[in-house]
Every structure is written in structure tokens, then in C-alpha cells.
Amino acid sequence: MTTIILKPHKDESARRFHPWIFSGAIAKIQLDKDYPFPAPQEGELVVVQSHGGDILGVGHYQIGSIAVRILEFGVSTLPPHFWRDRIASAYQMRESVGLVRPDNNTYRLIHGEGDFLPGLIVDIYADTAVVQAHSAGMHLHRQEIAEAIVAVVPAVRNVYYKSDDTLPFKAQLTGDKAGYLLRAENNELRTKDEEEFWSKENGLEFRIDWLRGQKTGFFVDQRENHALLERYARGKDVLNMFCYTGGFSVYALRGGAHLVHSVDVSEKAVDLVRKNVARNFPDCTNHTAYATEAFEFLADIKDRYDLIILDPPAFAKHRDAVKNALRGYRRLNAKAIEQIRPGGILFTFSCSQAVDKEMFRLAVFSAAAQVGRKVRILHQLHQPQDHPINIYHPEGEYLKGLVLQVE
């Protein structure tokens, strides 16, 4: 196996179990004598070794800033049944915290570094697992991963692979990047021309479109925050901005909201939220969805709403965009704080990994100060249990939110 030898004193982070080896830390790449290529291939397993010869671990090699993603520390080969054991550990955690229930068959099974499988995302929708590879190595192991999921998770009978938009752009990878890896015979799931598929979150049903939807087909990271909003919704006039599938809208309706307005720039999203509302509340007359740009809609809402949700897409996908992102968060939150009814509740979020929770809180503080109203923080929110953060990899924290009360 190819060995990656690090520069002197560049092994500290690996000894602290951080799973990334950066290209600048590498002193030498040592190939086996009979290795057929002049350099390691994208996605292959390599051994990481300190300058002094200590074995630090084994992981996936990739061309780029992050050269190796370590899968197992302190070994030179992956142990037998590695994929099954690692996935079983993740599933057992989800079971132990009560996420696997008849009324909740929508959850994240594998959350990359948070489940000690860097570069891999797996979401469960009833009897289907949707797999996304974010590294070349996970792409190469996709069939083993699919077989391990079916072996471990009793409900899963189908595994769909959706990595056409997530794999490294320059990697010369072979094999399909989207399609079923495993599929039960005579199942009832749709293909492109089949019927819609529905999955449950806390007893509510949502349409899942892993073929054409964003991410794996649904955003599973707001489940606990949806439930919190439901507790605040009774009797309220609710505005759900950037609604996408309408998760917050559906929970607000179940919580007894007086009216709910859902807004998204995408016509497809607006159509989807209407379907989700109709599925759960067939006779609903107090929900309206609008396909329009967010800032246009917020320009003059005055005091029409006393519960507002701001859950925009990532404003900063890399550090160079942070300054503009913070400006966007300030502008967006100022519009909401300025116009929400006295005593109103604002749920505001950022899913930008490059914007940490202190930056986001400062942006919201600046928005409140600009408007000049009295504002209380009632809750500080984050990602749920099935999106765990590896304690040795703080970069895994991405979702942050605040619940504010505005006088």
C-alpha cells in the first residue's frame, strides 16, 4: 500500500485524531515497488506515517488541499468488516436516541466526519437509503457501503446513489455517479415515471424526490427545530421564508397557526410545499404559497406576521464569501426585525459552514441594533443528533440558529 510520509512536526493534528491530512504537510509519497502508476490514484487507500516512522492511520487519498481523509487511526489496513461495523455503530446511535420510530422514518444515518466516515452522507427515507459521496474514495467503495447499509438497517431495501453533483470536479472517476446500487424486487418505489414517494418526520408526511430534489431529496437537519416552532405556532400569523419543502409551514399548521404563508423563489419548491400541505391537511384553507424573491416579499410586509422563519440557503460556501454573507444576514434579519409585530417570534438560521456561530450572532445583533427594537434571545439552535459533530473535527458544525422575541 502507498505510504504518505509527513514532514517533521506535521503529525500533531493526526495524533489528536483530526481526520484531514493537508497536502502541505506531506514530505514524501512512497510507492510500492510494483505500483503501476507514477503517483497515487484518486480515492485509493493509503497509509499515513509520521516523519519518525509511526503509523498514524489509513485513509483515502485525493488530489487537492485535503490530501488524505483518515478512516481509521493507528492501523495500516482497514479491519475486517470495517464498513458494516462503522455503519452499525451509527445506526445504533440513532436507535438509542429515539430517531428510528414508526412515526419517524426520515433521518441521517451517516454524517461524514461526525460518524467517522469522512466524505460520506447517507439519509434514510422509509425503506430507501440515499447515498452521497463527497470524496473519490467513497465513490470507489459505494457498492460495499450499500451492501453494509442493507445488512445493518432492517427497514432499508433500496439504496440510491446520488453523487453527480458532489464528487470532486477534476477527479477522473469511472462508474455511474447516480442510480440504484441495490433495489428490492417488485418494490413500490418510483423511477422517473413512477408515483411520488412519501416519508414520515415526527408523524408528518413529506414528499421525497431523490432523483431531482436538492441534496438527497429533503433537508433532514431541521427536524428538532421544526418541532420547536410547532410549540410557538398556535394562533399565530406565520411567514416561512425560503420555504423549499415547507417543513416549517407544515409543522406550524399542525401547531394551530391562524394562517401560514410560504415563500420561495423556486416555482418547483412552491409546488412541493403545496403538495406537502395538502397531504397532511387535505381541507386546509389557511395556507398560501408564493413564488417570489425573498427581499422583494420582505420589502413591505409591515406588521402582518407575528412568527417569521428565515432559513436561507448558504450565503457563504467558502471563506472568501464570508464578508458578503454577513452583509446578507444583516440585511435579511433587519427587514424581519423591523416589520414583525410587537411581541413577535423570529426563527433565524445560517447553514453556511464558513460563518461560525459567533459571526452569525454578531450579524443578527447588528441587524437588531440597526432597527433599534428590543430583542431577546429565547433559544440558540444547532444541528440535530443525527448530524453529530466529531469532537476532534469542529469544522463539522455548520447549522446555527436563534429564536428571538421582538418587542
Q: How far is CA 231 from CA 251, 293, 307, 402, in A?
A: 9, 28, 12, 15
User: What distance in Å separates the CA atoms of residue 27 and residue 6, rounded to the nearest whole number?
Assistant: 5
243 is annotated as an active-site residue: no
**CATH number of the 82-199 domain:** 3.30.750.80
Catalytic residue among 351, 354, 359, 404: 351
pLDDT computed for residue 354 by the predictor: 87
CATH pick for 221-406 out of 3.40.50.150, 3.40.50.720, 3.10.20.70, 3.40.50.300: 3.40.50.150
| Sign of the C-alpha dihedral computed for residues 166, 171, 172 and 175 taken in this order | negative
Q: How far is CA 262 from CA 21, 246, 272, 299, 339, in A?
A: 43, 7, 11, 16, 17
Tell me whether domains 3-73 and 82-199 share a fold: no
306, HSE (Cβ side, Cα atoms, 13 Å) = 14
Phi, psi of 326 (to 5 degrees): -65, -35
pLDDT computed for residue 192 by the predictor: 41
Amino acid letter, residue 60:
H
pLDDT in tens, the chain (407 residues): 899 999 999 999 999 999 999 999 999 999 988 898 888 999 999 999 999 999 999 999 999 999 999 999 999 999 999 999 999 999 999 999 999 999 999 999 999 999 999 999 999 999 999 999 999 999 999 999 999 999 999 999 999 999 988 888 777 788 888 899 999 865 554 444 345 799 999 999 999 988 887 788 889 999 999 999 999 999 999 999 999 999 999 999 999 999 999 999 999 999 999 999 999 999 999 999 999 999 999 998 999 999 999 999 888 677 788 888 899 999 999 999 999 999 999 999 999 888 999 999 999 999 999 999 999 999 999 999 999 999 999 999 999 999 999 99
Identify whether the C-beta of residue 399 lies closer than 8 Å to the C-beta of residue 224. Answer: no
User: What distance in Å separates the CA atoms of residue 148 and residue 159, rounded to the nearest whole number?
Assistant: 10
On whether the 3-73 domain is CATH 3.30.70.340, my answer is no
User: What distance in Å separates the CA atoms of residue 239 and residue 246, rounded to the nearest whole number?
Assistant: 11
User: What distance in Å separates the CA atoms of residue 112 and residue 134, rounded to the nearest whole number?
Assistant: 9
Domain ranges of the chain: 3-73, 82-199, 221-406
Q: How far is CA 208 from CA 186, 219, 269, in A?
A: 20, 10, 12
> pTM score, two decimals?
0.93
